Amino acid sequence: MALLRNVPFASILACMVISVISMVFRGRVAKVLSYLLSTVLLAASIALSWYFLQGNDAFVFTMGHFGDPWGNELRAGLLESVMASAMCLIVLAALAGGSYMIRSEIPDGKKNLFYIMADLMLAAVMALIYTNDLFTSYVFIEIATISAGGLTMSRQNGRALASSARYMIMNLVGSGLCLMGITILYGTTGHLLMGSLQSAVHSLFENGSYHLPLMASLILLTVGLSIKSGLFPFHEWLPDTYSYGVTAGSALLSSVISKGYIFLLIKLYTRVFGLDLVRDSHICILLFAFGTMGLIIGSLRATQATDIRRMVSYSSIAQIGYIYIALGLGTQEGVIAAVFHMLVHAFGKSMLFLSSGALIQASGGASDFISLRGSARRDIPAGVAFTVGAMSLTGVPLLGGFVSKIYIAQAAIARGGLYAVIVLLGLAASTFLNTLYFLRTVITIYRSDTDAEAAAHAGLVNSLFLCAMVILNFALGIASRPLYNALLSGLNMFI
């Protein structure tokens, strides 16, 4: 079992090494290495989760010989290992399930670059999940930003390049705010390790010292990571980036990168500042308000979309709103509901992007709703996967999205007062709007179109992975309680 204690560091190192090795090979070899990497890391992360489920405590992996206050540490517990397992699975599904789209959307000379960026992205997300110090956090925030920009511009057309530039500008603003927050926090406390930071921050607040700098660092870190994860009103970069990039890249950006940023924010709230302090600072009110507005506005914009990928992109804004509403409750129940919905959204959104890409392929490359008529008849697995993903995020019973909305509602009711009323009304309004635009899309893709010509099928591998993700979405709904209990145990271990 001692070998499992090396999994966090080995996961990050393996991703970095494979990305460097892939530079000297063509796209085919780089693709195989990426598949192998995500598969091995998935197995290792599942083994680490099993290790914690046996009752073992969380542990810290120290990198280098520098101790407190400047050391570099990784920390692993049940919450981190479950999240790492989910991210590795989604990366494998996006790369393998989207392989047909990668071949058609990316020029031959750029394919190995795409897989290099995917490997670096996985390294960054694993680091954001496991890191226990602010220096490592910032380094991999930047690596995540660069790799995500590379994934977007891999398509090499005007819109993809423009949206990539816009993505980089907005996310570099977010990175700058995060750096300022980390600098102020380090300058105030003299610590970089999260455990030591928590003691120092609480001591300063109890003494009434440096209240303004600490609040400034909390606000800067929150706003920076909110920009990078696409929270309203910092979301304007998101629709173009997800709509015009590579299909597999959009699945990775929406399901993996954004979740890494939000998980880091949760880690800062629970392991550095503390939920009580965050709630007393009233920043939760802003998260709750912006999450609620994003929930409604994202859904409204999705109803107006005439392009399937753009509709799915606007839907992401609404789903990010759900997560921040739960975080804005400022309670342990809200954090667990947020993490659960992160997993539901990650699996559901990646499936929606991959299935919509396959439906576009079956429609001759056109993504407007008129051209998509009958596409689900031409690619049956893609049609089924899109329908199940749409049903899940709408909140149909037996699927993960229904259960996550229940958990968010329960957390709001436990919080009580106006929070419960707003959450219940917001969930009802969003569910109604979700039904409108997803139902319209599902009817369109199954609508008979006798004039449509046969087009390329996305392939057997895409269909197999879509079927597997359909099963996972049902599993999240039917067998949600063991996962919820694992997340709750992980959060208790986390705090």
Looking at the fold, whether 217 and 287 belong to one and the same domain comes out as no
Please name the helix (run of DSSP H) or strand (run of DSSP E) that holds residue 276, with its range, or none. helix 275-280
Looking at the fold, whether 146 and 264 belong to one and the same domain comes out as yes
**Is residue 169 packed enough to be buried (19+ CB in 10 Å), middle (13-18) or exposed (0-12)?**
exposed
Looking at the fold, whether 251 and 301 belong to one and the same domain comes out as no
385 in Cβ contact with 465 (< 8 Å): no
**Among candidates 231, 227, 221, 334, which has minimal Cα distance to 292?**
231
Q: Which domain holds residue 382?
A: 282-495
Structure confidence at residue 166 (pLDDT):
82
Looking at the fold, whether 52 and 151 belong to one and the same domain comes out as yes
403 in Cβ contact with 444 (< 8 Å): no
Looking at the fold, whether 251 and 289 belong to one and the same domain comes out as no
7 in Cβ contact with 77 (< 8 Å): no
- Our count of domains for the chain comes to 2
Q: Distance between CA atoms of 91 and 115, rounded to whole angstroms? A: 11
Whether 85 has a pLDDT exceeding 90, the answer reads yes
Q: Would you say how long the chain is, in residues?
A: 495
To the nearest whole percent, how much of the chain has pLDDT over 90? 23
Please report, for residues 279, 288, 494, the alpha-carbon distance to residue 285 in angstroms, rounded to integers and kept in the order given: 8, 5, 24
Strand partners, 59: 76
Looking at the fold, whether 256 and 295 belong to one and the same domain comes out as no
Looking at the fold, whether 100 and 201 belong to one and the same domain comes out as yes
Average of per-residue pLDDT across 88-111: 82
Structure confidence at residue 374 (pLDDT):
83
The amino acid at residue 409 is A
Q: Distance between CA atoms of 229 and 276, rounded to whole angstroms? A: 23
CB-CB neighbours of 103 under 10 Å: 13
Please name the helix (run of DSSP H) or strand (run of DSSP E) that holds residue 60, with its range, or none. strand 59-63
Looking at the fold, whether 197 and 293 belong to one and the same domain comes out as no
The amino acid at residue 193 is L
Structure confidence at residue 339 (pLDDT):
92
Looking at the fold, whether 60 and 181 belong to one and the same domain comes out as yes
Looking at the fold, whether 269 and 303 belong to one and the same domain comes out as no
Structure tokens at 481: 């309680």
Q: Distance between CA atoms of 367 and 312, rounded to whole angstroms? A: 12
For 24-34, the pLDDT digits (tens) are: 877 788 888 99
Q: Distance between CA atoms of 226 and 407, rounded to whole angstroms? A: 22
Looking at the fold, whether 188 and 314 belong to one and the same domain comes out as no
Whether 7 has a pLDDT exceeding 70, the answer reads yes
Q: Which letter, b or e, does each residue of 402-437 get, where b requires 16 or more Cβ atoms within 10 Å of its Cβ? A: bbbbbbbbbbbeebeeebbebbeebbeebbebbbeb
Structure confidence at residue 68 (pLDDT):
67
Residue 65 pLDDT class (50, 70, 90 cuts): low
Structure tokens at 449: 């179109």
Which parts of 329-447 fold into alpha helices (H)? Answer: 332-361, 375-378, 380-394, 400-415, 417-446
Tell the residue number behind the tokens 């009434």, with chain if given. 208
For 457-487, the pLDDT digits (tens) are: 556 777 888 888 888 889 888 888 888 888 8
Q: Residue 26 — left, alpha, or beta (φ > 0 → left; ψ -120 to 50 → alpha)?
A: beta
Average of per-residue pLDDT across 179-207: 86
Q: Distance between CA atoms of 357 and 341, rounded to whole angstroms? A: 24
291 in Cβ contact with 225 (< 8 Å): no
Looking at the fold, whether 192 and 243 belong to one and the same domain comes out as yes
Average of per-residue pLDDT across 408-420: 88
Q: Render 119-175 in DSSP notation, one character per residue.
A: HHHHHHHHHHHHB-BHHHHHHHHHHHHHHHHHHHHTT-SHHHHHHHHHHHHHHHHHH
Mean pLDDT is highest, among 92-106, 195-209, 354-368, 393-407, for 393-407
For 347-356, the pLDDT digits (tens) are: 888 888 888 8
For 118-169, the pLDDT digits (tens) are: 999 999 999 999 998 888 889 999 998 888 888 887 776 667 677 777 888 8
Average of per-residue pLDDT across 411-431: 88
Which of 248, 273, 298 delimits the end of a domain? Answer: 273
| Between 211 and 218, residue with greater pLDDT | 218
Please name the helix (run of DSSP H) or strand (run of DSSP E) that holds residue 288, with its range, or none. helix 283-304
Which of 273, 294, 317 delimits the end of a domain? Answer: 273
Structure tokens at 103: 């071949």
Which of 242, 273, 304 delimits the end of a domain? Answer: 273
pTM for the full model?
0.92
